[in-house]
A and B are shown apart, each in its own frame.
Chain A
Amino acid sequence: MTALDHLTRPGAGDALLEVEAPAPRTVMRRRALQHVGFLTGGAIVLGVLLVAIFAPLLTAYDPFAQDLTRRLVPPVWSAKGSWAHILGTDGLGRDYLTRLIYGARISLTVGFGAAAIAGLIGTTLGLVGGYFGGRVDAAVMYLVNVKLALPGVLVALSLISMLGGSVAVVVTVLGFLFWDRFVVVTRSVTQQVRANEYVAAAEAVGASRLRIIVGEILPNVLNHIIVIASLEMAVAILVEAALSFLGLGIRPPTPSWGLMISEGRNFMFFQPYLVAIPGVAIFLLVIAINMLGDGIRDITAPEGRN
């Protein structure tokens, strides 16, 4: 709806001011289209997502197929490289580009999955603590303090080493480690929103607490949750890569980017591209997710910028 529509409707006189102040949605769209970080980050994330989904269509090779006669073929830009293996092959003769493409699936799954689990736990705790206050809130903050005191990477390493390094285990463990920021943000926003008159009005007409929390408060918190989720997704991707690199995350032969760096480490001195390439992939994906998250924050709540 454009601002002019208001003028042609009955009672248009009241809406004259809206010519000055366009609808929030229009403002947001305008901000989004002008935000370089949001557009660049969004494009890269979308690109990686498409690559992950259509992986089998993008490469003729199998990410697990070894060819020991073609070990350590250098990438196409070096003198001995060929177009048959654009990024060369690894120590077991597997096509490196193919493993990189399939690795995107692991990183995105871990990022989305861990952020979703953490978001669910953290948002629930934050809403409950912020809405009820008092002892409930004290209990929630106590949990956050316990969580913050535990050394996350160490706990994750020991849990995964005991439970086994499947993608599901890694996602779950990381999801249970990164919920604290969701609590802190959701809780403080809930406290602010709770003081609004429309919440008091909903209480006065006898709406249930669940309905107030889900219907009145949650929509106000949602933008903040999306921003935190993007940041936690980036952190989860970095931690998964680190755990897999240490040999206590995703197990071989699954093509995780961190694991690829760990395997490439043995050839680091003569084939440094084996270490460099997956690292650049992690770096680009994480930076893109951060740019997207910062962009969403600038667009939805510019006052929250630092």
Chain B
Amino acid sequence: MIRFLIHRATIAVLVALTVSIIGFSLLRLSGDLASALAGDSAKPEQIAATAHLYGLDRPLYVQYLDWAYRALHGDLGTSLFTNEPVARLIGERLGVTVQLSFMSLVFALAISIPLGVLAATRPNSWLDRTALGIAVFGQAIPSFWFGLILIIVFGVMLRLLPISGSDTFAHFIMPTVTLGVSVMPAFMRLTRTGMLDALDSDYVRMARAKGLSTASVLFKHALRNAILPVVSLTAVSLGFLLGGSVIVESVFALNGIGFLAFQSIIRTDFPVVQSIIVFVAVLYIVLTLVADLVNAWLDPRIRLG
């Protein structure tokens, strides 16, 4: 277990290092930042002055090391647009994004796990087909469009829910449904497949032969094993949701880090953009590492194999 832990953690650190280099250089290599910052009508000497002001005239690796050193000490730089520290900007908005991610995850799991279990108990029944239909629907619907349709129906026609902002719980209902529907299909398919395998196994047949109740067989024996891959997917999805809610946050004007990233990209506020990219990536790496370790702890085949 210790060896497995060290091995996985080493890879995670290396991946995080690479991701930070990519996130850092992405915005510098793809355009001339200094002339973009100085404005369209800037003279060459003004561009040079801007480059010097932001330290853009130094070699790239010096810029990276300087940035990485500060980032490790909690200083992610200053926004070019608001002049506030990037760490504070992210900190202020993280709560909204975390709340949205957790709510969508709970929403998706609450629907997909029972539905996946039921679908697996009766393969090819109308229930199974309905579950599959929902999965196909969720996979194909553009989330930004689904959000707009919800706004038109529940916000404008029925006037039931607020259409933008993040002040109350009601503000989160439509964004949660929109985001939840987009992650639901994967959970449902995985639960269904896992349950089908588990129900076909010897230990479930044994449990049935012992005369245990259907509920006990389904939830105590079969689901316990079928849920393992779902645990990993939950961690991966959480990482995806924390970074992938850009679209939904923008549609509903929810003031989370996705919306902040979107606004910063439009304003070419590169310290904010690169910090969010690296921050979200590191979050993802940590979450998947934790999921891997939990799985290895639960299942000896992983840590020994």
Contact = CB atoms under 8 A, between A and B. Distances in A.
A111 B187 CA distance: 25
A150 interface: yes
Interface in A140-190: 142, 145-146, 148-155, 157-159, 161-163
Contact of B144 (A157, A162, A261, A272): A261
A154 B30 contact: no
B199 interface: no
Contact of A286 (B140, B268, B285): B140
Chain B interface residue number, banded: 35 or more
A158 B15 contact: no
A111 B305 CA distance: 39
Given A261-B145, A269-B156, A306-B189, A148 B247 contact: no
Contact of B277 (A151, A278, A306): A151
A153 B23 CA distance: 13
B140 A159 contact: no
Contacts of A145: 11, 15
B213 to A, nearest CB: 28
A248 B140 contact: no
Interface stretch (B43-51, B82-90, B204-212, B258-266): B258-266
- The secondary-structure label for the interface of chain A is helix
A108 interface: no
Contacts of B5: none
A158 B260 CA distance: 13
A282 interface: yes
Interface in B266-280: 266, 268, 273, 276-277, 280
Given A162-B31, A163-B30, A306-B189, A146 B250 contact: no
A68 interface: no
Interface stretch (A51-59, A78-86, A119-127, A238-246): A238-246
A52 B191 CA distance: 39
A290 interface: yes
Contact of A265 (B11, B148, B282, B284): B148
A290 B142 contact: no
A31 B88 CA distance: 59
Contacts of A278: 145
A59 B22 CA distance: 46
A276 B150 CA distance: 11
B243 interface: yes
A107 to B, nearest CB: 11
B265 to A, nearest CB: 5
Nearest to B276: A154
Contacts of B243: 151, 153-154
A241 B247 CA distance: 11
Nearest to B285: A149
B244 A290 contact: no
A229 to B, nearest CB: 16
Nearest to A288: B140
B124 to A, nearest CB: 12
Interface in B130-163: 136-137, 139-145, 148-149, 151-152, 156
A262 to B, nearest CB: 9
A242 B18 contact: no
A72 to B, nearest CB: 16
B152 A158 contact: no
Nearest to A244: B144
B121 interface: no
B15 A142 contact: yes
Interface in B228-251: 239, 243-244, 246-247, 250
A283 interface: yes
Interface string A277-290: 01100110011001
A246 B30 CA distance: 20
A291 to B, nearest CB: 8
A153 B247 contact: yes
Contacts of B18: 142, 146
A246 B250 contact: yes
Contacts of A149: 15-16, 19, 239, 281-282, 284-285, 288
Given A162-B30, A265-B148, A282 B142 contact: yes
A133 to B, nearest CB: 16
B192 A306 contact: yes
A248 B265 contact: yes
Nearest to B12: A145
Closest A-B pairs by Cβ, 7 of them:
A151-B243, A279-B145, A287-B140, A286-B140, A162-B30, A306-B193, A162-B31
29 contacts: A148-B288, A149-B15, A149-B19, A149-B285, A149-B288, A150-B23, A151-B243, A153-B247, A154-B277, A157-B246, A158-B265, A159-B26, A159-B30, A161-B265, A162-B31, A234-B140, A238-B140, A241-B142, A242-B143, A248-B266, A258-B144, A268-B151, A268-B152, A275-B145, A279-B145, A283-B140, A286-B140, A306-B189, A306-B193
Interface of A: 142, 145-146, 148-155, 157-159, 161-163, 234, 238, 241-242, 245-248, 258, 261, 265, 268-269, 272, 275-276, 278-279, 282-283, 286-287, 290-291, 306
Interface of B: 11, 14-16, 18-19, 22-23, 26-27, 30-31, 136-137, 139-145, 148-149, 151-152, 156, 189, 192-193, 239, 243-244, 246-247, 250, 261-262, 265-266, 268, 273, 276-277, 280-282, 284-285, 288
